[in-house]
Amino acid sequence: MIVLDGNQIRQLIDVEHVYRAYRDALRDRETRFRGSLSWKTVAGHEYLYQKRNAVAKSLGRRSANTERIYDQFRTGRAEARQRVATLDLRLRAMAPINRAMRLGRVPIMSARVLRKLDRLGLLGHGFRVAGTHALYAYESLAAVHFDNRHVATLDIDLLYDARSTIKLVGEGDSGLIDQLQALDRTFRPTEPGSFRAVNDAGFMVDLITPLPRNPGTARSPGRLGGPDDVRAVEIAGLQWLENSRPIDRVVLDERGYPLRIVAPDPRAFAVHKSWVAQRDDRDPGNRRRDLAQARAVASILVHQLPELRFDDPSLLYLPADLRKAGEALTAEVEARRFRPGHDEEDWV
């Protein structure tokens, strides 16, 4: 594990401030100034029409009031566009600096997928990042970089909250697979009804969801689109991640450009990975990786985020035995830190 220095931390803070301002400006442009306003002559009189999503609506006959609405819209839209463009240029100028300081971490395709979900308003509202990619959020939270062996991966796990009533809406798009194909047309489900989509480069997007509380009871259709869409696979233990508080962080992709990641609480992640590593049905190689990731996250909880304790009342959604396992895991990491001759890289 690498602890970031003061210059790197300052750069990340500056990028986050600019990026959040950029997202606010973009949202303002796309909500307050969505569509268009224009004058239309009807029966010899001019009317101001607002057009959104191919639907036109009259705002009234031409008057001092409608002219003021028209002028304010055009001026406000121009200012919003200029603000977005200015902040975009600032982020582009910061990108090479971010790369030079070795701050870019998230794989490019992963970043494109997450930005797409963010633009659709789904990141943190029906979707969270689970699995290995959540580690990038924890790096940002603790101002560290994990060893690359913990984060290298060619797939991203999207945790779908089946309790949500979200629906993907777009120009003819009907589901998650449509959105992925808008990024890369080679994305396809691995088989009909699969939870996994893969592109020609071998990058995989997995849609996962917790098992229902009552066995045999379907929580939702498990997919957002039609029958050709990917379908979420139900997996035991994911309810602990789903019920945890969200961690919303700005991170950087490998090119140095920012994006958001919304991930589960790192304490829930650590105990879940530790629990998965003990399952007999888990592949031995994956079990070792799960345990290594659990210990890596436990290490930042001990050394960088000591305020995040397992006796916190906010973790009462976790079973008591899991909270105790979390305390044991952090105690193990703490004890290992001071063992003579111990190589800390074996853990973090």
With contact defined as beta carbons under 8 Å apart, do 276 and 238 qualify? Answer: no
pLDDT tens, position by position, 203-254:
999 999 998 876 666 555 676 778 889 999 999 999 999 999 999 999 999 9
Query: Residue 175's CB: how many other CB atoms inside 10 A?
Result: 20
Supply the pTM of this predicted model. 0.86
pLDDT tens, position by position, 250-301:
999 999 999 999 999 999 999 999 999 998 888 888 889 999 999 999 999 9
Output phi, psi for 11, to 5 deg: -65, -45
- In the structure, what pLDDT confidence band is assigned to residue 345 with cuts at 50, 70 and 90? very low
Query: Residue 82's CB: how many other CB atoms inside 10 A?
Result: 12
pLDDT at 338: 54
With contact defined as beta carbons under 8 Å apart, do 269 and 301 qualify? Answer: no
Alpha helix ranges (H) inside 101-175: 108-119, 134-142, 148-151
143 is written with which tokens? 């101002």
Burial annotation 64-81 (CB, 10 A radius, 16+ → b, else e): eebeebbeebeeebeebe
Asked whether the CA dihedral 68, 81, 179, 241 is positive or negative, the reply is: negative
With contact defined as beta carbons under 8 Å apart, do 300 and 136 qualify? Answer: no
> For the residues 33-44, what does the mean pLDDT come to?
89
Residue 198 CB contacts under 8 Å (≥ 6 apart), including other chains: 187, 188, 190, 204, 205
pLDDT at 174: 65
- Residue type present at position 117: L
